[in-house]
Amino acid sequence: MFEFLSSKFEELFYKIRGKGRITERDLDEALRDIKLALLEADVNFKVVKLFLENIRQKAKGSNILENLSPFQQIVKIVNEELVNLLGSSGGKISFANRIPTIIMLMGLQGSGKTTCVAKLAKFIKERYGKTVCIVASDVYRPAAVLQISNLVREYDIEVYSDENSDPVTISARGVEKFTRQGCEVIIIDTAGRLHIDEAMMDELINIKKAIKPHQVFLVLDGMTGQEAVNIASSFNSSVEYDGIILTKLDSDARGGAALSIYYTIRKPINFVSTGEKVEDFDLFYPDRMASRILGMGDILTFIEKSEKAIDQEKAKKLEEKLSKNELDLEDFLEQIRGIRKMGSLNKVFSMLPMMGKSKLLKDINLDDRQLVRVDAIISSMTRQERRNPAIINGSRKKRIARGSGTSVVEVNRLLKQFEETKKLLKQLSGFQDSFQGVSHFPFTRTR
Ligand code: GDP
């Protein structure tokens, strides 16, 4: 999902992360990179234009060019604008005051509509504990009714259909029957066509009149990018709907539809479908999606783990040292022992923002066994050496290698790694400030 944009943003952030200051030219260049990435991801050009304008305005408004940590500011602004682009309020479902709540789904054939009917039914039943029934009126594709029945069979969800009637009659009768039964939520699967045509729109209008749904959702295939936006727009001018269910996001590397729809049609994406299984379905969370696009990783999980493993007092002292760039090998050793408490290194780093494919990290060996050797090497140094690694000359290196059962090459590697880590930690400590509410990262911060 959105791998294309994620890798583009990662490249961009990597380029500007190390900069102490960002000039007007840097900002122009960053905006140009973002523009190309978004256009290549099939985001609507008008949306791209607006997005860039907003970022520029905000960047200027926040005095980014004078700011001491411009990188964090840019990430923060881009993140906020992405959330806005995705429709900041996100997915929700509202139930009618009196039962039943009637929900109507519509969409073109192949969009994933039938699968979504089953998914939504299971979702509402399990998440909200309501009784859910389905009316299947897609008689033009006879297999659709059987498909729904098969998908919901194990979830105790009743399905009504009648192959000898027309979709409007089936819908009306189905709603009547389930209302009588006291069903709390009734979902209607309407008939799709391969293309938008008048007959389909008329039929949908008539179904809508007959059943008076509380909510109407349009199902769109996310993989079709701008085409999905055009379809959303055509439906919008004929049949009023409340929100969108975007499907096949698991196969959509570019994300053009997700990023264009809200700004273009002003309809929220309520749900997303991310696979063929009935459970691959959820409410849409713009903030999580933006985080994913920006490659922010699972920050909250990371924080939670780090809070458990890191001693707050020590972390505070360390943060002070880090801000003065005074990190020494004693601190390094302590951090390595802290990391080892958190689990495997690769797992820990995979949770870090933008660490997925970071060039810097590729240079650092993430082998867990390596940590044991690093521990041994640092433990074989004198206190003075740990505090001031610059004094470690050739003969000292030999002594340390002997004492730790390693080699001079390994000692050299560690010293190099230490320098790299210092750089990385400095960047991370700055990065973290962009997230209000995120209280601390290991190595850098306490509440
Ligand atoms: P309909 O013609 O709109 O009713 O579409 P279907 O529900 O029959 O779905 C069409 C095809 O897309 C089926 O093979 C589904 O399994 C598949 N499909 C539906 N939703 C998703 C999804 O979120 N991800 C993937 N990968 N496939 C999906």
Query: Separation of 170 CA from ligand 1 center, angstroms?
Result: 23
In a domain, 93, yes or no: no
Distance of CA 93 to the CA centre of its chain: 21
Last residue of a domain, one of 86, 114, 142: 86
Query: Separation of 301 CA from ligand 1 center, angstroms?
Result: 32
Task: Supply the CATH number for residue 408's domain.
Answer: 1.10.260.30
Query: Separation of 218 CA from ligand 1 center, angstroms?
Result: 14
Q: Are residues 274 and 155 in the same domain?
A: yes
Supply φ then ψ for residue 192, to 5 degrees: -100, 165
Q: Can you give the pLDDT at residue 222?
A: 93
The tally of CA atoms less than 13 A away on the side-chain side of residue 252 is 26
Q: Are residues 105 and 236 in the same domain?
A: yes
Tokens 């994913």 appear where? 292
Q: Are residues 221 and 280 in the same domain?
A: yes
Q: Are residues 202 and 336 in the same domain?
A: no
Q: Are residues 222 and 369 in the same domain?
A: no
- Does residue 137 line the site of ligand 1, with CB under 6 A? no
Last residue of a domain, one of 251, 267, 293: 293
Mean pLDDT of the chain: 81
Query: Separation of 114 CA from ligand 1 center, angstroms?
Result: 7
Q: Is the pLDDT of residue 256 over 70?
A: yes
- Does residue 274 line the site of ligand 1, with CB under 6 A? yes
Q: Are residues 76 and 19 in the same domain?
A: yes
Lowest mean pLDDT among 276-280, 289-293, 436-440: 436-440
Q: Are residues 307 and 373 in the same domain?
A: yes
Q: Are residues 270 and 153 in the same domain?
A: yes
In a domain, 49, yes or no: yes
Q: Are residues 112 and 261 in the same domain?
A: yes
How far is Cα 366 from Cα 369, in angstroms, rounded to an integer? 9
Query: Taking the alpha carbons of 308, 311, 316, 318 in that order, is the dihedral positive or negative?
Result: negative
Query: Separation of 232 CA from ligand 1 center, angstroms?
Result: 18
How far is Cα 316 from Cα 440, in angstroms, rounded to an integer? 10
Higher pLDDT pick, 217 / 198:
217
Is residue 190 within 8 Å of residue 169, measured between CB atoms?
A: no
Q: Are residues 306 and 285 in the same domain?
A: no
- Strand order from edge to edge, sheet including 269-273: 158-160, 132-136, 185-189, 101-107, 215-221, 243-247, 269-273, 281-283
Classified as helix, coil or strand, 188 is strand
Among 115, 149, 231, 274, residue to substitute to test ligand 1 (most atoms within 8 Å of Cβ)? 115
Higher pLDDT pick, 316 / 155:
155
In a domain, 261, yes or no: yes
How far is Cα 312 from Cα 327, in angstroms, rounded to an integer? 17
- Does residue 150 line the site of ligand 1, with CB under 6 A? no
Q: Can you give the pLDDT at residue 10?
A: 80
Count up the domains in the chain and report the number: 3
Lowest mean pLDDT among 103-117, 221-235, 299-313: 299-313
Q: 413: which 2 tokens?
A: 């590697």
How far is Cα 80 from Cα 205, in angstroms, rounded to an integer? 37
Cis bond leading into 142, ω under 30°? no
Q: Are residues 284 and 373 in the same domain?
A: no
CB 56: neighbour CB atoms within 10 A?
Answer: 15
In a domain, 95, yes or no: no
Q: Can you give the pLDDT at residue 370?
A: 74
What does the pLDDT look like over 153-200, one tens digit per residue? 989 899 999 888 899 999 999 999 999 999 999 999 998 877 778 888
Q: Can you give the pLDDT at residue 76?
A: 77
CB 436: neighbour CB atoms within 10 A?
Answer: 7
Q: Is the pLDDT of residue 434 over 50?
A: no
Q: Are residues 186 and 249 in the same domain?
A: yes
Q: Is the pLDDT of residue 282 over 50?
A: yes
Find residue 273's DSSP bridge partners.
281
What does the pLDDT look like over 347-391, one tens digit per residue? 555 555 544 444 445 545 456 677 788 888 999 999 999 989 989
What does the pLDDT look like over 49-108, one tens digit per residue? 999 999 888 887 666 555 445 666 777 788 889 889 888 777 788 899 999 999 999 999
Lowest mean pLDDT among 37-41, 284-288, 355-359, 441-445: 441-445
Q: Is the pLDDT of residue 225 over 50?
A: yes
Lowest mean pLDDT among 124-138, 213-227, 230-244, 363-377: 363-377
Higher pLDDT pick, 144 / 213:
213
Measuring CA to CA, which residue among 357, 326, 309, 366 is closest to residue 374? 366
Classified as helix, coil or strand, 396 is helix
Last residue of a domain, one of 86, 119, 140: 86
Higher pLDDT pick, 300 / 324:
324
In a domain, 345, yes or no: yes
Task: Supply the CATH number for residue 54's domain.
Answer: 1.20.120.140
Range of the domain at 56: 3-86
Question: Residue 56 contacts by C-beta under 8 Å, 6 or more apart in sequence?
Answer: 27, 31
CB 418: neighbour CB atoms within 10 A?
Answer: 18
In a domain, 91, yes or no: no
CB 413: neighbour CB atoms within 10 A?
Answer: 17
In a domain, 105, yes or no: yes
Residue 138 CA, closest ligand 1 atom number? 4
In a domain, 121, yes or no: yes
Q: Can you give the pLDDT at residue 372?
A: 81
Task: Supply the CATH number for residue 214's domain.
Answer: 3.40.50.300
CB 127: neighbour CB atoms within 10 A?
Answer: 11
Tokens 């806005």 appear where? 84
